Structure 1
């Protein structure tokens, strides 16, 4: 039987301390720009000087956060990546909060959050200066805040929490446009749940909820462009703010040359083509960073999705079915996004939902006498320890060491 936790706040504090420590350990290694850091760190440096637009195909907030880390800790590897560690910890704690709000069981929330921590994708993105970690953190916090609003008793609290969730969604989109579908997902979920139970979200009508999501998220998104009004060269203004979005869209539509690590969305669920963010001699040793998911979580999560959809269809377990539906929607949306080439790290947000689906499925099937939590945690932890050298860029024995972790030829 799992350990019986019954005090959510102390567990959350302990989980946050452990998570932040793990993300920060040896954060400065490697002492060089890794993978897409070559785009975003120079853009953050330029942003600090307010010289001119840089990396103009993406919104500003993610680069603003990287720049904040550089301003606080210096133009060093720690400065580049410091804010990403905070985003990673916020992601883990946001998942904990969301599961607690859904199930009111501390063990279920802890199980899901620890699985998020042990999933390789979250660990790696929390230690690199890229935009996806910030985007995901704000989406997860939005989910938790919107669920919290459903638990409020009075209309004033409902509105405050709902607006907070909408602001987080706006901040997510301000990091990367890939978060935009989640505004629609939230609106549709609200309408469906409100229709099923009109007493949810007291004081927030069926039409006011989606409108507030749209208005607040868009206003929050636009507010993050304020630094661009002060560029020394090519500043934007109120009149050019919207045309600037069109220019960003055109840059997003660019078809880039083929890339060694490109992959199609259909293969992401099976991790057919992960990415070596780094594999070269650096800091006096051969080092590597393989962006791949924890197989126990990524593949076991697919089984959990099927089991959760079954639980929803057969037993009307709305909570567990909704988590599975969130993964399905966040994955299938990539079938509609005309992005070429595409990469496995686009699957980052769906990979975060899989641990939550696993925790929800285990919670549902636990009452049937199925006790899979300890075995799942143990297997995930063993693989995390085994893969740690190519997650954290520790020193490897020789240039051929990668064979130990490349389970398939397509992983090379």
Structure 2
């Protein structure tokens, strides 16, 4: 339950604390954002696509939907076509992700302490920090996806078709960043029907048939609305008659067989971090630098223990709030067993890693009486690992080309 004295202490109100969490995260992500001063990893694909959208010159990078590239394009237009402008929109998405973890944990536990622990774990997870400082699609996908889940969960306690439609629209926006968010619409429908069947007091006043219809119509409609700029291209503009066939063109490109890649990996290896990705490892401005997409070992491996513990606790208590974060992680991973992609990469695990921080926060809260402060020691370990790995998370100058050996604990990490 929430703190009964919270009404007399405005600074502890969840909305204000969540806003401060987002602001603090944004300030962290902005530090040295322009380093390196060259495109990194998939920025070489998405920056040209964002420039094309900024200028409405014509279709580019058509294998993915437009929204994330549109947001990068707005950042380029407002802040300039330079490293800070390339990445600023991603920092906002990253800060929204940290705040989303705070909000979801608060909805599941009702406790500010657990919510702050969840936000801290997300910030210390490495992956949110790295993705918030690079112009890639996954950063935006995760932010919209997480807030869609937050709003739909919120609507369970404060029912209304308006909140339900807002959650559906956010899932549609996530899908408009990358198609891998689409299965979560089905997850939301199944979860709604299951909880509605077992607990008739959930979403009172909402007709199930109307709710499911709105979930589908609003999410799909929102998705298609994000294609509006493509109708104004100066070259090969999109038309209404081509809108649906264009989706098949995207699908064909998404499912094409690609040549092997140095950093490819199978989805079942991602929880163990068998093959993280070097987004950058080369001299920049005459100095060796590296950016490594890897998770905090204490969080990524500890989170697996938390998921297992939550399943065990759910079997004993039948508590949906304990099951939810565990199932989010399982579902987010199993999606990749069904998606027809010829290659997989560790950064596809990005949303799953975020759900692990939620699972950890909920598990630590559930067993808080038994832990008695051990959660604080755990946070210190996570922070110590962040300090240790930080030079290869934010492209700090390294001593030489062989400096990577300090952080590559296993041969597969090279």
* TM-score range normalised by the length of the shorter chain: over 0.9
Matched residue, 1:194: 196
3-state SS, counterpart of residue 117 of structure 2: helix
- 5+ residue gaps, structure 1, are none
1:171 to 162, 173, 183: 173
Larger CA deviation: 373-382 vs 195-204: 195-204
Matched residue, 2:107: 101
Matched residue, 1:71: 77
How far apart, CA to CA, are the structure 2 residues paired with 1:194 and 1:247? 38
- Residue 125 of structure 1 and its aligned partner are, at CA, apart by 0.4
- Residue 283 of structure 1 and its aligned partner are, at CA, apart by 2.2
1:228–1:236 CA contact under 8 A, matched in 2: yes
Matched residue, 2:20: 14
How far apart, CA to CA, are the structure 1 residues paired with 2:35 and 2:192? 44
How far apart, CA to CA, are the structure 1 residues paired with 2:341 and 2:94? 26
3-state SS, counterpart of residue 62 of structure 1: helix
- Residue 401 of structure 1 and its aligned partner are, at CA, apart by 0.7
How far apart, CA to CA, are the structure 1 residues paired with 2:360 and 2:279? 27
How far apart, CA to CA, are the structure 2 residues paired with 1:289 and 1:368? 38
1:323–1:357 CA contact under 8 A, matched in 2: yes
Aligned residue runs from structure 1 range 260-275, under 5 A: 260-275=262-277
2:278 to 272, 276, 279: 276
Matched, 1:119 2:125: yes
- Residue 314 of structure 1 and its aligned partner are, at CA, apart by 1.2
- Residue 235 of structure 1 and its aligned partner are, at CA, apart by 1.0
Matched residue, 2:50: 44
Matched, 1:398 2:411: no
Matched, 1:215 2:221: no
Larger CA deviation: 204-213 vs 225-234: 204-213
Matched residue, 1:328: 330
1:408 to 407, 410, 414: 410
Matched, 1:58 2:64: yes
- Residue 370 of structure 1 and its aligned partner are, at CA, apart by 5.1
3-state SS, counterpart of residue 367 of structure 2: helix
Q: In the TM superposition, what whole-angstrom CA distance separates every residue of 1:323-363 from its partner, at most 9, and x where no partner exists?
A: 10110111111111121111111111101000100011111
2:90–2:140 CA contact under 8 A, matched in 1: yes
1:135–1:176 CA contact under 8 A, matched in 2: yes
Alignment size in residue pairs: 406
Matched residue, 2:260: 258
Q: In the TM superposition, what whole-angstrom CA distance separates every residue of 1:222-274 from its partner, at most 9, and x where no partner exists?
A: 00000111111211111110011011111111111100000011110100000
1:20–1:89 CA contact under 8 A, matched in 2: yes
- Residue 284 of structure 1 and its aligned partner are, at CA, apart by 2.8
How far apart, CA to CA, are the structure 2 residues paired with 1:47 and 1:193? 42
Matched, 1:33 2:35: no
- Residue 197 of structure 1 and its aligned partner are, at CA, apart by 1.2
How far apart, CA to CA, are the structure 2 residues paired with 1:382 and 1:209? 46
1:99–1:356 CA contact under 8 A, matched in 2: yes
How far apart, CA to CA, are the structure 2 residues paired with 1:6 and 1:308? 28
- Residue 369 of structure 1 and its aligned partner are, at CA, apart by 4.9
- 5+ residue gaps, structure 2, are 1-5
3-state SS, counterpart of residue 240 of structure 1: helix
3-state SS, counterpart of residue 240 of structure 2: coil
How far apart, CA to CA, are the structure 2 residues paired with 1:81 and 1:369? 39
Matched residue, 2:237: 235
How far apart, CA to CA, are the structure 1 residues paired with 2:325 and 2:305? 13
3-state SS, counterpart of residue 281 of structure 1: strand
Matched residue, 2:3: none
Q: In the TM superposition, what whole-angstrom CA distance separates every residue of 1:88-122 from its partner, at most 9, and x where no partner exists?
A: 00001011111111211000111011101111111
3-state SS, counterpart of residue 175 of structure 1: coil
1:65–1:83 CA contact under 8 A, matched in 2: yes
2:125–2:296 CA contact under 8 A, matched in 1: yes
How far apart, CA to CA, are the structure 1 residues paired with 2:212 and 2:302? 34
1:362–1:372 CA contact under 8 A, matched in 2: no
Please, what TM-score do these two structures have when normalized by structure 1?
Answer: 0.96
Matched residue, 1:80: 86
How far apart, CA to CA, are the structure 2 residues paired with 1:126 and 1:186? 26
Matched, 1:300 2:273: no
* CA gap 1:97/1:340 in 2 versus in 1, 3 angstroms: same
Q: CA RMSD in A?
A: 1.4
How far apart, CA to CA, are the structure 2 residues paired with 1:13 and 1:244? 39
How far apart, CA to CA, are the structure 2 residues paired with 1:363 and 1:338? 38
Matched, 1:145 2:151: yes
2:108–2:362 CA contact under 8 A, matched in 1: no
Matched residue, 2:350: 348
